[in-house]
Amino acid sequence: MRLVFLGPPGSGKGTQAQLLAAALGLRHVATGDMFRQAIQEKSAVGKKVARLVNNGELVPDALVGEVVRDHLDGLPNDAGFVLDGFPRTATQAEMLQEILDRRGWSLDAAVALKVPEEVIVARLGGRRVCGHCGATYQADQLPDPDNGKCERCGEPLVTREDDRPEAVRRRLELYWSTARGVEEFYAAQGLLREVAAEGTVEEVQKALLAALGRGGNDPH
C-alpha cells in the first residue's frame, strides 16, 4: 500500500503514520523527521534548512523534492510506504507524481486529517519531544511536565523549536495557503479520503482504517 498523509501541523500525521506503518508493514517516510535529523547532524542539507524549519517556514520545493526523490529511489520496487508531510504544495504533488510514474508506482489514497484550529494549538502547545530519540509526549500526560524524561531513553524532554507560538502561527498560515491545491490534485484523481481527526489517537486510527477499507479488528 502506498499512501500520502495530508493535514495541518498537529493534526496527528506523524502519530497515525507511525501506527499505520507498524500495523501494515509499511515504511514511514516523514520529511519533517528527515530535516530535523539533518539539522541535528549539521549536514549540508541541515545547514541549508535549519533557520527555515525552526521558524516554521517551508523548505523550497526543489530541495524537498530532491531529498524525497533520493529516499524513494533507494527503496525496492515492492516497497509500501506512508508519506508524512510531503507533498505540501501543488508543485510537490507534481514532483511526487513524476517519481511514482518513473518507478511504475501508484498511490492507493491521499488521506487528509481534519482538525479544528483550537485543537491544533492545544496539541502543539502541549507537545514535548525527546531531543535524543524524537519520541513525542503530551505535557498533560506527564507526571512533571517541566522536567519530563523520555520513557524510552531517559533523556530530557524539550519543546520543539517550531512549536513556539509565533512559529506555529506561521506554519498554520502557510498550511492554509497551500493545502487546497494539494487536496484538489488528489481529489481530481479520486484518491482523497477525509478523516475527522479530533478524537483520541485510537478513535482516529479506527476512522483512518475504515477510510482505507481496513475496518474491523484486523488491519491486515
Phi then psi dihedrals of residue 156, to 5 deg: -65, 145
The span from the CA of 161 to the CA of 97, in Å, is 32
**Calpha distance 171→127 (Å, rounded):** 15
Cα-based distances in Å from 97 to 82, 93, 102, 148: 15, 6, 8, 42
Q: Is 171 annotated as catalytic?
A: yes
Asked if 7 touches ligand AP5 (CB under 6 A), the answer is yes
- State how far Cα 73 lies from the chain centre: 20
Residue choice 2, 72, 162, 206 for contact with ligand AP5 (CB under 6 A): 162
Does residue 9 interact with ligand AP5 by CB under 6 A? yes
171 binds ligand AP5 (CB under 6 A): yes
Catalytic residue among 2, 128, 171, 206: 171
Is residue 127 part of the annotated active site? The answer reads yes
Based on the residue annotation, tell me whether 13 is a catalytic residue of this protein: yes
Q: Tell the residue number behind the cell numbers 502547545, with chain if given.
A: 125
Q: Which residue has the cell 504544495?
A: 89
Q: Where are the beta strands (DSSP E) in the chain?
A: 2-6, 27-30, 81-84, 109-114, 127-130, 136-138, 157-158, 192-196
Q: How many residues bind ligand AP5 (CB under 6 A)?
A: 31
Member of 2, 6, 35, 96 binding ligand AP5 (CB under 6 A): 35
Contacting residue, 11, 109, 209, 212, with ligand AP5 by CB under 6 A: 11
- Which of 27, 48, 103, 127 is catalytic? The answer is 127
The catalytic residues are: 13, 88, 127, 160, 171
The binding site for ligand AP5 (CB under 6 A) comprises: 7, 9-15, 31-32, 35, 52-53, 56-59, 64, 85-86, 88, 92, 123, 127, 136, 138, 162, 171, 200-201, 204
